[in-house]
DNA sequence: CGCTGGATTGACAGTAGTCAAGACCGGTGG
DNA sequence: CCACCGGTCTTGACTACTGTCAATCCAGCG
């Protein structure tokens, strides 16, 4: 079960055998969460840290006017709320996009993990990648047109899913409504619709059911200036 | 000199004496950087990690169309590029806003620091706060009007400066041109100008020279829905 | 087959960008 | 002390992108 965590952390470099054993010895309780329900809400500070095993979730913030800004998507292997263990309170909420399977790690376990330098370091690296992604999103919202924004988002989505084996060269699942895409890109649902149509007319992508098809990834990347360097997928371990 | 780093890290909780000694034993070379020059550029992967001692800097990304998106401001005590030590390559650039004093830590030193669990953990916490700030910026760009965006940015700026002793209740330094504010908020300089005028007319702020005055912080916060929880300034150390 | 949520459309409103001219301001050299 | 300069800040006119509202269409489902 916690293999997942080992795999995630070791994607940044091997862990000492001790550390792997520690992780695998942790007690944890799995549970399922229904689609569209909250996993944790802004302001909460519960004792456990959630780790996604399967399904998709997203981080979001509610604004005063009632609108919602989605600020990240979580895939299998991602931490939901390390923040809670370290910073005390959630400054945003997390909800399940699809049905989600997650494991809850008691906070003490997480703190024990952080007592291991190699694990702590791997978590820091994971956090740095998340941060880099947020910076790219910021550039996306601040500097690109609606059409480019959406295209860029799809490129990233596909790339991330491919990294965890959930996408082939042709396409991938995309369990999002246009409203949700809009909440992600700071656009209205109507405008997302129009942008999608423009992209379709250019033959840059197909969207059928909940499935995204990208006939020519190169062309799409070129159209929206997508350069995946910020995802640090090679995640080379720097030699010490 | 490296006291700075100790202070930064201990803002998240005390460090073991060993760790403090390690930090203070590190060799480091200070240097100055002229205003408006780059400190490090996207794609680079040099050996040293920079730490800001004084002055202001900012992270930015260049987009295909030549526009620039500023994605963070760095104050005294902030790390410029931990990324380089851990992830290998910069995915964005950093430039000096004003004249900046920084110390360069050799990468091996940084990796040694990360070998200490408590230090590694404090760095993780610092990174989590940066991440939270990026999420709030994303919500700011995605969900608020131009006027609110700018107001929110000023609230945050003042709050952060106050946290490091650079702002009083009345106001603080703001060494930014309207163009730079625009590059930060995804707005044109002209529109920033108009938004500022609106805010001034409402009596929410004054901007003279490079100085920002906020007569009534409460009112400004209310106007832009600024809630500083995401800065985690109290940074309570969670009891183990 | 009728519902229901999501996707599409069209008309219209409003926000933000662009371009270009002119005012202002601090610093420089005479 | 003053004129000059370059960079910012302001302004106005105009354009273009994006949002809003509301009706309609469509596909999956009980």
Residue B127 belongs to a domain: no
Spatial distance between the Cα atoms of B3 and B17, rounded to a whole number of angstroms:
13
- Report the pLDDT averaged over residues B77-106: 93
Q: What is the pLDDT of residue A240?
A: 41
Domain membership of residue B202 as a residue range: 144-231
| Shared-domain flag, residues B73 and B25 | yes
Residue B137 belongs to a domain: no
DSSP-derived secondary structure letter, A66: S
For an interface test with A, give the residue of B109, B128, B144 to mutate (most A CBs within 10 A).
Answer: B128
Q: Report which of B128, B82, B134 is spatially closest to residue A114, judged by C-alpha positions.
A: B128
Chain A CB within 8 Å of residue B98 CB: no
Put simply, the answer to whether A135 touches B59 (Cβ < 8 Å) is yes
- A230 CB neighbours in chain B (<8 A) are 91-92
If pLDDT is split at 50, 70 and 90, which confidence band does B3 have? confident
| Shared-domain flag, residues A82 and A166 | no
Residue B130 belongs to a domain: no
- Closest chain B CA to residue A110: B240
Residue spans of chain A under pLDDT 50: 236-240
If pLDDT is split at 50, 70 and 90, which confidence band does B2 have? low
Chain A CB within 8 Å of residue B206 CB: no
- Looking at the 3D structure of chain A, how many domains does it have? 2
| Shared-domain flag, residues A40 and A99 | yes
Query: Which chain B residues in 5-44 lie under 8 Å from chain A, judged by CB atoms?
Result: 43
- Report the pLDDT averaged over residues B66-91: 93
| Shared-domain flag, residues B208 and B105 | no
| Shared-domain flag, residues A100 and A163 | no
The closest CB to that of B135, out of A92, A115, A128, belongs to A92
- Report the pLDDT averaged over residues B75-102: 93
| Shared-domain flag, residues B9 and B101 | yes
What would the pLDDT profile of B24-45 be if each residue is shown by its tens digit?
998 788 999 999 999 999 999 9
| Shared-domain flag, residues A81 and A167 | no
Spatial distance between the Cα atoms of B165 and A76, rounded to a whole number of angstroms:
42
Backbone angles phi, psi at A33, to 5 degrees: -130, 135
| Shared-domain flag, residues B161 and B105 | no
Q: What is the pLDDT of residue B240?
A: 41
* Cβ of residue B197 lies below 7 Å from strand C: no
- Averaged confidence pLDDT in chain B: 93
- A127 CB neighbours in chain B (<8 A) are 124, 127-128, 131
| Shared-domain flag, residues A109 and A149 | no
What would the pLDDT profile of B207-239 be if each residue is shown by its tens digit?
988 999 999 999 999 999 999 999 998 754 444
Burial label, B164 (beta-carbon count in 10 A; 0-12, 13-18, 19+): middle
If pLDDT is split at 50, 70 and 90, which confidence band does B1 have? low
B229-233: long-range contacts at Cβ-Cβ below 8 A with a sequence spacing of 24 or more?
B229/A89, B229/A91, B230/A91, B230/A92, B230/B132, B230/B133, B230/B135, B230/B136, B231/B129, B231/B132, B231/B133, B231/B156, B231/B159, B231/B160, B231/B163, B232/A87, B232/A88, B232/A89, B232/A91, B232/B128, B232/B129, B232/B132, B233/B159, B233/B163
- Report the pLDDT averaged over residues B63-72: 96
Residue B125 belongs to a domain: no
Q: What is the pLDDT of residue A201?
A: 96
Instruction: For residue A155, give the CATH number of its domain.
Output: 1.10.10.10
Residues with Cβ within 8 Å of B57's Cβ and at least 6 positions away in sequence, in order, are B33, B39, B73, B74, B78, B80, B94, B95, B96, B97, B100
Chain B CB within 8 Å of residue A156 CB: no
| Shared-domain flag, residues B102 and B206 | no
């Amino acid at each position: 079960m916690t293999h997942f965590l080992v795999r995630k952390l070791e994607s940044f470099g091997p862990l000492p055998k001790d550390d792997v054993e520690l992780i695998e010895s942790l007690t944890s309780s799995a549970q399922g969460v229904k689609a569209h329900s909250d996993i944790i809400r802004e302001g909460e500070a519960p004792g456990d840290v959630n780790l996604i095993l399967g399904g998709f979730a997203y981080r979001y913030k509610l604004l005063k006017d009632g609108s919602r800004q989605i600020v990240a998507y979580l895939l299998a292997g991602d931490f939901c709320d390390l923040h809670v263990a370290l910073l005390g309170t959630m400054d945003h909420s997390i909800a399940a996009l699809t049905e989600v399977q997650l494991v809850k790690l008691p906070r003490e376990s997480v703190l024990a993990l952080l007592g291991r330098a190699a694990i702590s370091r791997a978590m820091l690296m994971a956090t740095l990648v998340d941060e880099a992604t947020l910076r790219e999103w910021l550039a996306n919202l601040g500097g690109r047109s609606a059409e480019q924004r959406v295209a860029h988002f799809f490129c990233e989505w596909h790339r991330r899913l491919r990294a965890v084996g959930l996408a082939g060269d042709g396409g991938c699942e995309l369990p999002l409504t246009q409203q949700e895409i809009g909440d992600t890109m700071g656009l209205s649902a109507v405008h997302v619709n129009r942008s999608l149509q423009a992209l379709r007319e250019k033959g840059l992508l197909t969207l059928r059911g909940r499935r995204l098809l990208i006939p020519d990834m190169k062309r799409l990347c070129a159209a929206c200036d997508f350069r995946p360097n910020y995802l640090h997928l090679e995640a080379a371990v720097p030699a010490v």
